[in-house]
Structure 1
Amino acid sequence: MKNIVICCDGTGNEISENISNVLKLYRTLRKTEKTTPRQMVFYDPGVGTLARPNPWKKLVQDASAIFGLATGYGLDDNVLHSYEFIVDNYADGDAIYLFGFSRGAYTVRVLAGLIHKIGLIAKQQVNLAGSGLTAYKQFSSDTAQPDGGLDLRQFTDGGAPGPASKDDQAAQYARILSVKWPTIKFVGVWDAVASVIVPRPDRFYWPSLQVLAFVHRNPSIEIFRQA
């Protein structure tokens, strides 16, 4: 057994002199497999963070950063990076801890909602994680009250969750991939915000801002704290 710890920072936060609470936490965490319990730690610097490998990319990255600061564009990548880290390292019995600041707080809440809805795929299937996130967002768009409805942990004889409807692509995704259903031990957030661009086929040129499923009420979380 081991701890898997995800730390997601806020919009535009980078490793610098003025560090956020999430980065302070990350710096104090033990990051070694040589002690008991073992602990795997992942840090994501956040939506809209600048990373300039060379001056030629400065203009493009500045534009992307400003758009991310304003809207949260890029959230999908942050969620997927964290999800894929958990998939790569999770084993039965491991404890999952999620921490986030500002937009990163919403990132970990979406990550927890994604895990609750589609579970954890096998590491050999990590290339399919993006499809799972798409199905989860589609479920959120199609559900009038995305935090309610059928709990997917009502299992069928086949050991997979029964879909809420024939059009529930997220449930079908979980059934086909025979996912694991971990409990999230702890979620801790600072200054949570929620701004997510969700392109829709009926509003292609005017994407909507949407709250995703299970970000406010998630049965898979044992302990939730917000500061």
Structure 2
Amino acid sequence: MKRLFVCCDGTWNSDSDEFQGVPVPTNVVRFFNALSEHGDDGVEQLRYYHAGVGANEGWLRRLIDGAIGLGLSRDIRTAYKWLSDHYEEDSEIFVIGFSRGAFTARSLVGMLHHCGLPHEATWALVKQAWNLYRLDPKVPENLIRQERFRIENGKPPPVRFLGVWETVGALGIPEIVNLFGLGRQRFEFHDTTLSPEVERAAHGLAIDEQRNNFLPTLWTDEDGCDPARVTQVWFPGVHADVGGGYKETGLSDATLKWMIGEAAQYGAVFESEMLNQIANAGPLSPSAVHGVLHNSLTGFYRKIGFRPRSFPYLVKSSRRCSESISDLALARQASPPIFQAPYRPNIDPAAAVQVRVFASPLWNWTGIFMKEGVRYRFKVPEGQTWLDGDSASGAEGTPGNWAQRLFAWPKRVRGANWFELCGAISYPGQPGEAAVPPQPFYFRIGREVEIKAPYSGYLYCFANDATWAYWNNQGSLRVEIKESDGLPTGKGAAYAPSDEDLTAPATAPGGSGQGQPS
């Protein structure tokens, strides 16, 4: 018997990553390093680590590989070959990954499900398995060919544990790759659903990541909602706060300790001296609760668009399918660090509350979690205005001049006035084509409206403007919000957003752009 560990790192990540001469490994590297060579029971633990796509390459190859995923297919085949060389009938398989490496890990498990695992396969047989894996599963003949390969070469092995941090984008492929259909066409055949061979799966997710090309790919099918097999936990932080890779490791130490604990429950054995180094990284430890939450909305990423993620209600025992909120997130909410306060406070609109909506952010966090089927009344007290450049308007906005009326397409909510107060519910919904999460549900507010929430999710508000024109917006409005049992009034029109809405930046929690009680 052996335990086999396949560890797949994220794009451009490797075990030699440094920042200003200081090592900044991801959690995949640290998980790999912490593994013991043998378990307490004497069982041998064999480890395989694969650097991320584009790592250890020249700058041009690094850029191309990272942008469109070249090399990812090679990584999956190489890991498949390693498993084939070392797997025995009673071996236990553990697969770990982060970011694009999480996609690699999940796709590797999908390949095992569809093609089985030959013993000591030649590279030619690996290529044959790969070509079969790429076949369209909706064609019955393809399923027959895969089954024949499994019968002749080896059945799918059980996977003891599948642990990933932050599987991102459409089937794990960042949204920006799909600009000309490149990413989706190349990778849509990969199967990242939860295979029946997986005994336990764990997924760590970042509450505060807002980049469009890092939208998470969760397990959302029937198998993915089985809490006995799957846990998907939301942690405070952005992408690399959860998966590791920053110099400051307060948050990523906690997510590493969580994943190690999950894997240990299923037999993985780690070096005690290594574990002692993160012994104080529990969900209530000050180093984790008050750890640095980094800003990923910088440089190029700020230019290509942002939107808030949909996550469950930030309260104790909140669940959505197999998703839950980490104790670390709730502890940070209750006791935020002095240098990054507040942290996503909840506001209960059961009694009338007031939030401040600023004109300059594309998304204002309100802290209100709207519940499906519940009515909410919005009202903006008279006498308030905000500025679009030098033009003042109230919450009802303005139709604009003749040019603005003629060229209304840049507006985020096209059926609403320019600078009209609008709302959006960030809800999970069913993933669209290639597992892309749905856009938020948009609705008009204006001066006053009452709506029945069609989905559950956090409420964001904004001034309706062109997505690139918020830099010259000024001012704010005080908005009264209350749960209501009355009949609907006002416009309250829902809006089916266009692709343009995908470029709407989000405001990070905290700071002047955050809607707060006033």
Q: CA deviation at 1:71?
A: 1.6
Cα distance in 1 for residues equivalent to 2:37 and 2:68? 33
Percent of pairs with identical residues:
26
Q: Could you say if the C-alpha distance between residues 86 and 223 of structure 1 is closer, same or farther in structure 2, counting changes exceeding 3 Å?
A: same
Residue in 1 that maps onto 2:153: 178
Gap runs ≥5 in structure 2: 17-22, 175-181, 205-518
1:89-128 matched pairs, under 5 angstroms: 89-128=86-125
Asked if 1:195 corresponds to 2:173, the answer is yes
The one-letter amino acid paired with 1:14 is: S
User: Which structure carries more strand by proportion?
Assistant: 2
Runs of 4+ residues deviating >4 angstroms: 32-35
Conserved? CA contact 2:11–2:53, under 8 Å: yes
Residue in 2 that maps onto 1:64: 61
Q: Could you say if the C-alpha distance between residues 78 and 210 of structure 1 is closer, same or farther in structure 2, counting changes exceeding 3 Å?
A: closer
The one-letter amino acid paired with 1:80 is: R
Cα distance in 2 for residues equivalent to 1:62 and 1:128? 33
Aligned residues between the structures: 187
The one-letter amino acid paired with 1:170 is: Q
Deviations 1:9-45 (A, max 9, x none): 0000022311000001111112359971111100001
Cα distance in 1 for residues equivalent to 2:186 and 2:121? 33
Q: CA deviation at 1:218?
A: 1.2
Alpha-carbon RMSD across the aligned residues, in angstroms, is 2.4
Cα distance in 1 for residues equivalent to 2:97 and 2:183? 29
Cα distance in 2 for residues equivalent to 1:50 and 1:131? 28
Q: CA deviation at 1:50?
A: 1.7
Asked if 1:50 corresponds to 2:27, the answer is no
Q: Could you say if the C-alpha distance between residues 188 and 139 of structure 1 is closer, same or farther in structure 2, counting changes exceeding 3 Å?
A: same
Tell me which of the two structures has the higher relative contact order, counting C-alpha pairs closer than 8 angstroms and 6 or more residues apart.
1
2:202 is paired with a residue of what secondary structure?
Answer: strand
Q: Could you say if the C-alpha distance between residues 136 and 18 of structure 1 is closer, same or farther in structure 2, counting changes exceeding 3 Å?
A: same
The one-letter amino acid paired with 1:183 is: P
Cα distance in 1 for residues equivalent to 2:186 and 2:27? 27
Which of 23, 28, 34 is matched with 2:34 structurally?
Answer: 28
* TM-score normalised by structure 2 residue count: 0.34
Conserved? CA contact 1:100–1:188, under 8 Å: yes
Conserved? CA contact 2:4–2:91, under 8 Å: yes
Cα distance in 1 for residues equivalent to 2:10 and 2:183? 25
Cα distance in 2 for residues equivalent to 1:78 and 1:211? 17
Deviations 1:112-150 (A, max 9, x none): 00000110012154431012112111235xx2xxxxxxx
Q: CA deviation at 1:212?
A: 3.5
Conserved? CA contact 1:33–1:40, under 8 Å: no
1:192 is paired with a residue of what secondary structure?
Answer: coil
| Greater Rg by CA | 2
Asked if 1:222 corresponds to 2:199, the answer is yes
Q: Could you say if the C-alpha distance between residues 183 and 207 of structure 1 is closer, same or farther in structure 2, counting changes exceeding 3 Å?
A: closer
Gap runs ≥5 in structure 1: 52-60, 144-163, 197-204
The one-letter amino acid paired with 1:174 is: R
Cα distance in 1 for residues equivalent to 2:53 and 2:131? 18
Cα distance in 2 for residues equivalent to 1:224 and 1:25? 16
Q: Could you say if the C-alpha distance between residues 33 and 223 of structure 1 is closer, same or farther in structure 2, counting changes exceeding 3 Å?
A: closer
Q: Could you say if the C-alpha distance between residues 182 and 167 of structure 1 is closer, same or farther in structure 2, counting changes exceeding 3 Å?
A: closer
Q: Could you say if the C-alpha distance between residues 64 and 35 of structure 1 is closer, same or farther in structure 2, counting changes exceeding 3 Å?
A: farther
1:186 is paired with a residue of what secondary structure?
Answer: strand
Conserved? CA contact 2:100–2:167, under 8 Å: yes
Q: CA deviation at 1:207?
A: 7.4
2:134 is paired with a residue of what secondary structure?
Answer: helix
Conserved? CA contact 1:50–1:62, under 8 Å: no
Residue in 2 that maps onto 1:146: none
The one-letter amino acid paired with 2:194 is: R
Which of 70, 86, 90 is matched with 2:83 structurally?
Answer: 86
1:13 is paired with a residue of what secondary structure?
Answer: coil
